[in-house]
Structure 1
Amino acid sequence: MYNPKSNSILQQLTGLFRSFQPCQLCHADTQHWHQVCEDCWKSLPWQRQTIKRQGLQIMTPCRYDYPLDRIIQQYKYQQQLQFQPLLSGLLCSLKQPKKVQAIVPMPISTERLEERGFNQSLLIAQDLAKHLDVPIWQPVTRLKQRAQKGLSRLERMSDIQQQFQLTPPNAVRYRNVLIVDDVVTTGSSIQALHNCLIELGCQQVHVTCLAVAEI
């Protein structure tokens, strides 16, 4: 039988244990915020503001600068999953929109999933969903990405939009959702996913990402 009191005690003990563990970034001080020390947490390229891409407002805690850019790259391409608590903590530190009914992680193609072994946006979205106490919703799939060299801007936009496809009809529908992505540059992928969700009947589509890169 589930015992809330026992679970609370376990969480406290886990937190106490981690407070004696070395910071995952500098390894010199002990963990303070999401498995990193206070100095490393403060040294992240904080931004904590809403930026605009493709006409969409995107909430982001940080810029895609050192050391966060290295952390995200190691997490995505080198399977350094020990950084997940830190990355999830960045999104949880933001004031997220109210009354969000579900979280939609940025989908990746089957080929990309086989290459990496996981969808980084899904893993982070799952932690945020638990924090907000809402479900994960994945009504859109993504086809294999093609090389866009030589394409015009309009051709690239059209190609990206065609990569996103609605999954077979499902009775589950949400009106107020939150897209979660790792890094946003031009915002083309987010715009394509946003359009699919509007087509499904979503009335409010919010967007949040770990970091925003300059364009």
Structure 2
Amino acid sequence: MLLQGLHKLVGKPPCVLCQLSPAHRHSVCQDCWSNLPWNQEMIHRQELNIIAACEYRYPMDRIIQQFKYEQQLQFQTLLAGSLICKKLPRVQAIVPMPISQERLVERGFNQSVLIAQQLARQLNTPVWQPIIRQHQHAQKGLSRVERLEGIHQQFKIDSRIQTRYRKVLIIDDVVTTGSSVKALTEQLENIGCKQIHIACLAAAKI
């Protein structure tokens, strides 16, 4: 019986976090999966209700940082899985948080797009990118009102987009104040979206 159990472990990839136990789900072993800082309640930012898979603290904060800034793409399945296990609403399209062209060149990818694409395959829902983001100005030294105004000015409707959806799900990596998702929500409303849901990998405390 023991040999039979060991035989089943052969060929299973190791957990992407501990590298010790075999991966159980979404590239992570059961212990590491259970020890993620799961968020159990809807969070509220900028008068918006947001589904947050986890709290933005260890180890999720480090995982997102490595994925986003160090191109550690092996964490993609884990991050997408953290949202897949949540009760996400049924929508017509998934809208990843856009980043500016400068950020895209700097990182080589939009982390929210990668997560959205994996969710789209699981949910059989298209990824829709009707909003573009212009240069993301540094916010340091600005007042709260100036920061909000600056963020809202970054988001513009892509005039080339022909398809329209009324019920969508915004996907972001980390939500702190909620200013970016608020600005994106308003632009989506401007092009006819009537039901806009929001989900993020992690929510930071404010």
Counterpart of 1:107 in structure 2 is 98
Q: Distance in 1 between matches of 2:139 and 2:66?
A: 25
Partner residue of 1:202 out of 184, 193, 197: 193
Classify 1:24/1:169 alpha carbon distance in 2 versus 1 (closer, same or farther; 3 Å).
Answer: closer
Q: Distance in 2 between matches of 1:181 and 1:170?
A: 21
Post-superposition Cα deviations, 1:5-37, rounded to whole Å, max 9, x if no partner, equal xxxxxxxxxxx8897221111111111011111
Confirm or deny: 8 A CA contact 1:48 1:59 kept in the other structure: no
Post-superposition Cα deviations, 1:150-191, rounded to whole Å, max 9, x if no partner, equal 322111111100000000153311000000000000000000
Q: List runs of 5+ in structure 2 lacking aligned partners.
A: 1-7
Letter in 1 for 2:195: Q
Counterpart of 2:89 in structure 1 is 97
Letter in 2 for 1:126: Q
**Post-superposition shift, 1:105?**
0.2
Classify 1:169/1:117 alpha carbon distance in 2 versus 1 (closer, same or farther; 3 Å).
Answer: closer
Post-superposition Cα deviations, 1:124-160, rounded to whole Å, max 9, x if no partner, equal 0011111111111100000111122332211111110
Counterpart of 1:123 in structure 2 is 114
Q: List runs of 5+ in structure 1 lacking aligned partners.
A: 1-15
1:184 lines up with 2:179 in the alignment: no
Letter in 1 for 2:28: V
Moved over 3 A (4+): 16-19
Q: Distance in 1 between matches of 2:139 and 2:62?
A: 25
Q: Distance in 2 between matches of 1:172 and 1:211?
A: 30
Classify 1:102/1:17 alpha carbon distance in 2 versus 1 (closer, same or farther; 3 Å).
Answer: farther
**Post-superposition shift, 1:85?**
0.5
What's the secondary structure of 1:207's corresponding residue? strand
Instruction: Summarize the alignment of residues 1-215 of structure 1 with structure 2, pairs less than 5 Å apart.
Output: 20-98=12-90, 100-215=91-206
Q: Which moved more, 1:18-27 or 1:60-69?
A: 18-27
Letter in 2 for 1:121: S
**Post-superposition shift, 1:49?**
2.2
What's the secondary structure of 1:20's corresponding residue? coil
**Post-superposition shift, 1:70?**
0.5
Counterpart of 2:5 in structure 1 is none
Post-superposition Cα deviations, 1:60-115, rounded to whole Å, max 9, x if no partner, equal 111001011111000000000000000010110111112x0000000000000000
Confirm or deny: 8 A CA contact 2:9 2:22 kept in the other structure: no
Query: What is the aligned-residue identity percentage?
Result: 58
Confirm or deny: 8 A CA contact 2:155 2:187 kept in the other structure: yes
Q: What is the TM-score with the length of structure 1 in the denominator?
A: 0.89
